[in-house]
Structure 1
Amino acid sequence: MEDNFQSAYQEEQHRLTLAMEEIDRRLEKLRAAPVYTGHDFTEQALEAARESKRQSLAKSTQEPYFGRLDFETAGGKRTPLYIGKVGVEKEEVTEQPLVIDWRAPVASLFYSFTGGEEAASYDAPEGTIEGLVYLKRNIVIRQRILERVADTYDRNNEQPAVSDEFLVYRLGENKDNRLRDIVSTIQAEQDQIIRAVRNTALIIQGVAGSGKTTVALHRLAFLLYQYKEQVSAGKMVIFAPNHMFLDYISDVLPELGVGDIQQLTFQDWALTLLNQDVRLADPSETLSYWFERTDGLPELSNEVPGRYKGSLTFMKLLEDMLAGMETLSVPEGDFSPWDGKVLPRSEILNWFEQEYKPYPLAKRKERVMARIHRWVEMELKKAPSAAMQKEWKKRASQREKSYANKWPKFDALLIYKQLFQAVKGSSTGSVVGARAKLPGVVLKQTAADLKQGVVREEDLPALVYLHILLNDLDGNQRFDHVVIDEAQDFSPFHVALLDRFVRGHSFTILGDLSQGIHAYRGVHTWEEMSSLFNAEDTAYFALTRSYRSTMEIIEYANTILEKGVQGGITAVPVFRSGNPVRMIAYEPSQRTEQIGRALERLTHQEYRTVAVLTRTLAEARELHETLAGRGLGVNLIDGSMQQYQGGVSILPVYLSKGLEFDAVLVADADEQHYHSSAWDAKLLYVGCTRALHELWLMHGAPLPHYAVPENNEGYMTGWPE
């Protein structure tokens, strides 16, 4: 076995040397060529191609490839294929590429092949290609140095089988403050999602640590490669829960050679589109209300404001309201620009209801008023004298302004306020009728918010929808593909709205219902999303394998779901064992001392990122102030952060969703802080599944019933020796 390893290592070292020599030579040659800066279109295109090759080769100089697949097509010869983040062609284009781009059709074999003697196949533009895989080899190259060679399949071995050894090796590495690409370790079920056809709404249920976010980012890179003539990076968008999360994932796409993809929060996108002076309520106020209450989460009926305002029922109510406004838009009475001249209302109605009917309301009003103005100008030419014309023009100008003020003001925010507030003299009958259909609790809360001059996040889909119903949208506002991360926190209204902005229902919608801690405004089942599309336009994938945490952590987190949620989707761990989950009781009077002691023990290990998770934001602030005062280097994450700094972080558990840390210490993991509701169990589950290698739970009161394991395996009590 050792001889085989040495032979493989020497073979790959020789091949790496030759590959680096060729890459360096070609890059040097391209860099030596003068850069064209003239205006000739043909030369500009040639220079753009050269620059693209320079960038591709530059990305390959340190880590040219990560895998090898020996493949023999039917009737062909066995060929070693080297797979990398960026493809590198040889100078003779008829030859096999030096490195094959991971997104190329043949490269899919590297991910989809899971062993066996049978033929393997992949889909290519010319049809399905079949053949035999003889070798699948993982290769680790860092800074031009060959570090590791691991064969995960060898047909010539007496017992050919795929092994998780290389995957476990990569998963065991410590993390820094950025999410990284997984090109070298994409698994077959992940690859199937990445390579799914474009015009489909993919809904991905993925357990904590299943790589949902990373898979979605790789899917964007694949779509740009596969459909390069049909999509552009600038027309793709990722909607993420907050700015800190956007910063956390910001390195993945550049590592894959992809730029210019929009990365936004829904709030930022909506407020920019509205282009109005809309003051958004402080999100921390909403979070504090729901996450720091002591009586657990109340029954979440569809009349909870966030759920109702995220429903298709509310969406339809807005449509009906505007339809009613349409019939009452044209002011009563004829228009008279000056005494003795009349434009009949019947003519104005004809323009509004017939000629300009294809336009949305605001633009129909604009066009009707412009038509009236042109009619006035034509009539002014019939004036018997210049003096009379001047007098008519003055009166017409005043009366046009007065007539325009009689029309409804087609402004999204104003109409929304009229819906929830009885604004005297400004509400049409359709608005009053719509208001009467609102659930009382929704009407009361939103009216109070609007009276204070603020709107909540849950109001934004409605405001944007009113805006586009009134003004329409143009091609520049449309997307080629939309990724929604943490989609369990989005509403059906969110997705139905975004579907108006995306071509061909091209979505990647990903989340985890077991982490649905924003259930007061998010979805409770994925059917709430899939029902928005025709069956042929959607596909559902379930990722149940978790690659983040050790077996001990995942099995403990599964216990919380099984006992506390009873219906949560549990994870299947990769065979990567680590330290047991540790539960440490403390006397309430010693809480801060003990947490500080535990944090010091964890930070003395070789961990790059450590998190202390509290139940509330107030507790996080208090603990941060105390520990920082003792000289510990700790960062507070309070929801206002634009960047994730890594190191040691203190944050409330509900702000940790989407992040991961080498070690996690859950402070106050007891029944006084986590109650018996399924919602509280989900909160604790989220906290525990942030840990990659080490999980400690500290508690002053007894643990909640769902946090007590059924057996003694995988966890320990008390301090480590």
Structure 2
Amino acid sequence: MSAPARSSDDPARPAPGAPADGPTALAPPDSGPLAAERAHLAASRAALRAMRADAEALDLSDAAANWVTAETLRADVRRRIASLADLSGTPLFFGRLDFARPVDGDGEYGTRFYIGRRHVHDAGGDPMVIDWRAPVSQPFYRASKKDPLGVVLRRRFGYDGGELTAYEDERLSDPGEEERVSALLRREIERPRVGPMRDIVATIQPEQDEIVRAGLAGTVCVQGAPGTGKTAVGLHRVAYLLYAHRERLARSGTLVVGPNRSFLRYIEQVLPALGELEVKQATVGELVAHVEVRGTDSPAAATVKGDARMARVLRRALRSGVRVPEGPEEGVTVVRGSRRWRIPAHEIAETVRELLARDIRYGAAREALPQRIAHAVLVRMERSGEAPDDRVQAAVARSAPVKAAVKEIWPQVDPVKLVLRLLSDAAFLAEHAEGLLTPEEQRAVLWERPPRGVKSARWSAADAVLIDEARDLVERTGSLGHVVLDEAQDLSPMQYRAVGRRCGTGSATVLGDLAQGTTPWAARSWEAALSHLGKPDAVVEELTTGFRVPREVIDYASRLLPAIAPGLSPAGSVREAAGSLRVRRVPGAGLGGEVAAACREALGREGSTGLIAADERVPVLAGALGAAGLDWLAPGEETSARCRLTLVPASLAKGLEYDWVVLEEPAAVVAGEPDRRTGLRRLYVALTRAVSGLTVVHAESLPAELDSPSASRG
């Protein structure tokens, strides 16, 4: 149950000091509970400044024996100082827990703890704010009247910028109070936003918290409908894991993989706001950037190149260069002093077959072969009464006869040249794709005009992934401790393999929505996708309750689900917003002007506005906005409040959200994709970017799956 929130700056609610409608009455702003909480906030900020000053005052001149260690220490201190920054517009704490009995909170026993974005302690080391990731903070997100987890009172705080203006209490131990949605929680969720994505640390829901706090050892896949917060959950999970496993992840590293740079710019401030500054971000294309991508594949070619069968084709092609010695003249003779030691061809052939059967990486096997030949020489030397040591074996392995034999038997392979040959030599491809790719599929991936060399090749994004696969077949790709993969439904099997290599010995958080798959190779099931990722035992969690997208909007978009993802249940939303959906049909000649008018109307409200349209329509709309005197930004440029309108190509809308969305010409969005199903999925994405309201403006008829008289028109 929640007592009504009171605020000194909200005219719609009684001012502090006025009688409360519930069991909690707030005092005037300069006295009583609110003044006490403000005093604690001021003291906590002072303590944080003191912690930062202490870090800045550290003298490391005599702290290390050498310059390498000293520089490492200085880097650690710099990171520590940066993490202690007091962000004036960000609340230092957002909640308070009062327990019935003393509990251990970050090493200190107590009954009252303030929950915030980072730990703050006073001069004596006593905690003033507890990190939201600490075990004692968990009841803030999960406690309920049915299971209070020892909590007597949960208090939420309301802020205006960095100023504490309101609080709201839930007395979990009082059976007489009915449970209801927190007004402050709802207000925070619905708060308009301009600029990059912000954290949800104050509003994490119980089902989200379970995913956030899942252990490091296992991989978690989150199937999340629009507005369920799956991206935020994934980012907060990284922050939690860095808190719980700091030392381990500091050594192995963490990575967030997003669909494009615009998306990564949109989310890049979330982790720094939570005090985590060292998490890397990249797109799949950046992970596999071994060649310059200058070409574009047809959908058919990209689909075949992204198929998991290509991994087997590459493996066959790579190993085709290994030659098993057959003739007696192909043995190896090594001269040591006055003696000659000969290893016959059949013995070398047995070693080669054994290495092939072990299925170790090509490069590792190539390095093992000279050592195996040298070992065979040492065995013969020992049998003759000599006592060779490891230095002798190393010298034999480096000898000219052994090196020449290895070069002939197990030649070096350049992964780039291997893929180049595979895509330009029809006979070579046919030999290694036999039984795997049909003749039509082979023709689809072959270049029409084979390049003269690596530098002249117009590599595509799918080619770069093939090269990455070939590189891993030669030499193992390094593994990180944890990888977050967002918008995962759009990856090809080969792209999943590329990401999976980066967390082969680590874990992953996979985020996506099968209904939003907009590539020809989009995942049909998480079971198959996780298998390609190398994490077949991952736990799949489903988030179906939306907190940001209004119910009217999500219900409208869900009309497309039977056509695009019949196996998924429609998403629900806790938010109802009358008038949040409007559909306007206008004559074609007036479309641009009506779109501009809808944008101007949205800009008259608080928050951000996104104008989403088919990619080919963007230049036309840019002209219409200019003619109307409206400034606009491109996706990823929303870094300040100087301009609140973003012109978004439909292909870049995924993962972004705006308070108000104007969607131009849904039929053009559908027609802009290679097939209707993909087009309807692209439309589903565009429809679900709105947080406060959606206006659909169209001249053409709406897609049949979407058109209905139940939508508000005006």
Same fold by TM-score greater than 0.5: yes
> Match for 1:105 among 120, 135, 145?
135
What SS is found at the alignment partner of 2:264?
helix
**Quick one: distance in 2 between partners of 1:246 and 1:451?**
35
**Quick one: distance in 2 between partners of 1:710 and 1:170?**
33
Q: In the alignment, what sits opposite 2:489?
A: 488
> Match for 2:625 among 621, 624, 627?
627
Which residue identity lines up with residue 494 of structure 1 in the other structure? Q
Would you say the 8 A contact 1:551–1:577 is kept in 2?
Answer: yes
- Name the stretch that deviates more: 232-241 or 562-571: 562-571
Cα offset, 1:665, TM superposition: 1.3
Q: In the alignment, what sits opposite 1:16?
A: 38
What SS is found at the alignment partner of 2:288?
helix
Cα deviation 1:357-382 (Å, max 9, x = unaligned):
89633455467689999x9xxxxxxx
**Quick one: distance in 2 between partners of 1:600 and 1:370?**
74
Which residue identity lines up with residue 14 of structure 1 in the other structure? A
**Quick one: distance in 1 between partners of 2:82 and 2:670?**
53
Cα offset, 1:397, TM superposition: 9.4
Which residue identity lines up with residue 413 of structure 1 in the other structure? V
Over 3 Å counting, the alpha-carbon distance change for 1:223 and 1:400 in structure 2 is closer
Would you say the 8 A contact 1:68–1:136 is kept in 2?
Answer: yes
**Quick one: distance in 2 between partners of 1:74 and 1:256?**
27
**Quick one: distance in 1 between partners of 2:633 and 2:48?**
46
Q: 2:65 aligned with 1:66, yes or no?
A: no
- Name the stretch that deviates more: 679-688 or 219-228: 679-688
Q: In the alignment, what sits opposite 1:694?
A: 693
**Quick one: distance in 1 between partners of 2:188 and 2:685?**
23
Over 3 Å counting, the alpha-carbon distance change for 1:525 and 1:537 in structure 2 is closer
Q: In the alignment, what sits opposite 2:113?
A: 81
What SS is found at the alignment partner of 1:716?
coil
Q: 2:306 aligned with 1:310, yes or no?
A: yes
Cα offset, 1:544, TM superposition: 0.5
Cα offset, 1:680, TM superposition: 2.7
Which residue identity lines up with residue 417 of structure 1 in the other structure? L
Would you say the 8 A contact 2:211–2:233 is kept in 1?
Answer: yes
Q: 2:454 aligned with 1:455, yes or no?
A: no
Which residue identity lines up with residue 269 of structure 1 in the other structure? L
Q: In the alignment, what sits opposite 1:126?
A: none
Cα offset, 1:399, TM superposition: 13
Q: 2:7 aligned with 1:6, yes or no?
A: no
Q: In the alignment, what sits opposite 1:706?
A: 705
Over 3 Å counting, the alpha-carbon distance change for 1:239 and 1:647 in structure 2 is same
Would you say the 8 A contact 2:481–2:507 is kept in 1?
Answer: yes
Q: In the alignment, what sits opposite 1:380?
A: none
Counterparts of residues 623-662 of structure 1 (less than 5 Å): 623-636=621-634, 647-662=644-659
Which residue identity lines up with residue 707 of structure 2 in the other structure? V
Cα offset, 1:550, TM superposition: 1.7
Over 3 Å counting, the alpha-carbon distance change for 1:78 and 1:161 in structure 2 is farther
Over 3 Å counting, the alpha-carbon distance change for 1:536 and 1:100 in structure 2 is farther
Which residue identity lines up with residue 635 of structure 1 in the other structure? L
What SS is found at the alignment partner of 2:187?
helix
Over 3 Å counting, the alpha-carbon distance change for 1:153 and 1:543 in structure 2 is farther
Cα deviation 1:145-182 (Å, max 9, x = unaligned):
21221224443473241414223201222111201000
Over 3 Å counting, the alpha-carbon distance change for 1:553 and 1:84 in structure 2 is same
Q: In the alignment, what sits opposite 2:11?
A: none
Count of paired positions: 646
Structure 1 vs Structure 2: percent identity of aligned residues? 24
Cα deviation 1:408-428 (Å, max 9, x = unaligned):
55122222233333278xx5x
> Match for 1:40 among 42, 63, 67?
63
Cα offset, 1:625, TM superposition: 3.0
Which residue identity lines up with residue 692 of structure 2 in the other structure? H
**Quick one: distance in 2 between partners of 1:329 and 1:246?**
52
Over 3 Å counting, the alpha-carbon distance change for 1:110 and 1:346 in structure 2 is same
Which residue identity lines up with residue 595 of structure 1 in the other structure? V
Counterparts of residues 148-297 of structure 1 (less than 5 Å): 148-156=166-174, 158-232=176-250, 235-271=253-289, 274=290, 278-281=291-294
**Quick one: distance in 2 between partners of 1:107 and 1:171?**
20
Q: 2:436 aligned with 1:437, yes or no?
A: yes
Q: In the alignment, what sits opposite 1:135?
A: 153
Cα offset, 1:584, TM superposition: 1.0
Q: 2:477 aligned with 1:464, yes or no?
A: no
Would you say the 8 A contact 1:613–1:687 is kept in 2?
Answer: yes
**Quick one: distance in 1 between partners of 2:272 and 2:561?**
36
What SS is found at the alignment partner of 1:185?
coil
Would you say the 8 A contact 1:488–1:522 is kept in 2?
Answer: yes
Would you say the 8 A contact 1:564–1:706 is kept in 2?
Answer: no
Counterparts of residues 506-655 of structure 1 (less than 5 Å): 506-518=507-519, 520-531=520-531, 537-562=537-562, 566-607=566-607, 609-615=608-614, 617-636=615-634, 647-655=644-652
**Quick one: distance in 1 between partners of 2:79 and 2:35?**
28
What SS is found at the alignment partner of 1:510?
strand
Counterparts of residues 673-692 of structure 1 (less than 5 Å): 677-692=676-691
What SS is found at the alignment partner of 2:157?
strand
> TM-score with structure 2 length normalisation?
0.79
Over 3 Å counting, the alpha-carbon distance change for 1:560 and 1:500 in structure 2 is closer
Would you say the 8 A contact 2:662–2:694 is kept in 1?
Answer: yes
**Quick one: distance in 1 between partners of 2:306 and 2:416?**
17
Over 3 Å counting, the alpha-carbon distance change for 1:119 and 1:182 in structure 2 is closer
Which residue identity lines up with residue 247 of structure 1 in the other structure? R
**Quick one: distance in 2 between partners of 1:331 and 1:601?**
84
What SS is found at the alignment partner of 2:433?
helix
What SS is found at the alignment partner of 2:285?
helix
Where does the alignment leave 5 or more consecutive residues of structure 2 unmatched? 5-18, 335-339, 377-398, 452-456
**Quick one: distance in 2 between partners of 1:229 and 1:633?**
47
Over 3 Å counting, the alpha-carbon distance change for 1:26 and 1:236 in structure 2 is closer
Cα offset, 1:534, TM superposition: 9.1
> TM-score with structure 1 length normalisation?
0.78
Q: In the alignment, what sits opposite 1:410?
A: 413
**Quick one: distance in 2 between partners of 1:75 and 1:324?**
65
Cα offset, 1:543, TM superposition: 0.5
**Quick one: distance in 1 between partners of 2:288 and 2:73?**
40
Would you say the 8 A contact 1:666–1:698 is kept in 2?
Answer: yes
Cα offset, 1:554, TM superposition: 1.6
- Name the stretch that deviates more: 241-250 or 59-68: 59-68
**Quick one: distance in 1 between partners of 2:76 and 2:344?**
63
Would you say the 8 A contact 1:244–1:644 is kept in 2?
Answer: no
Would you say the 8 A contact 1:152–1:162 is kept in 2?
Answer: no
Would you say the 8 A contact 2:664–2:698 is kept in 1?
Answer: yes
Would you say the 8 A contact 1:239–1:484 is kept in 2?
Answer: yes
Cα deviation 1:328-368 (Å, max 9, x = unaligned):
59999649999x99997557657756699896334554676
What SS is found at the alignment partner of 2:246?
coil
Cα offset, 1:105, TM superposition: 0.8
Q: In the alignment, what sits opposite 2:315?
A: 319
**Quick one: distance in 1 between partners of 2:446 and 2:27?**
75
Which residue identity lines up with residue 420 of structure 1 in the other structure? L
Over 3 Å counting, the alpha-carbon distance change for 1:159 and 1:503 in structure 2 is same
**Quick one: distance in 1 between partners of 2:232 and 2:544?**
15
Cα deviation 1:60-100 (Å, max 9, x = unaligned):
7763210011122499998222100001234445x5x2111
Where does the alignment leave 5 or more consecutive residues of structure 1 unmatched? 121-130, 291-303, 376-395
Cα offset, 1:655, TM superposition: 1.6
What SS is found at the alignment partner of 1:706?
coil
**Quick one: distance in 1 between partners of 2:364 and 2:703?**
59
What SS is found at the alignment partner of 2:617?
helix
Which residue identity lines up with residue 716 of structure 1 in the other structure? S
Would you say the 8 A contact 1:670–1:700 is kept in 2?
Answer: no
CA RMSD between the two structures: 4.1
Cα offset, 1:267, TM superposition: 0.8
Cα deviation 1:48-71 (Å, max 9, x = unaligned):
998777656543776321001112
Cα offset, 1:134, TM superposition: 1.3
> Match for 1:667 among 664, 667, 671?
664
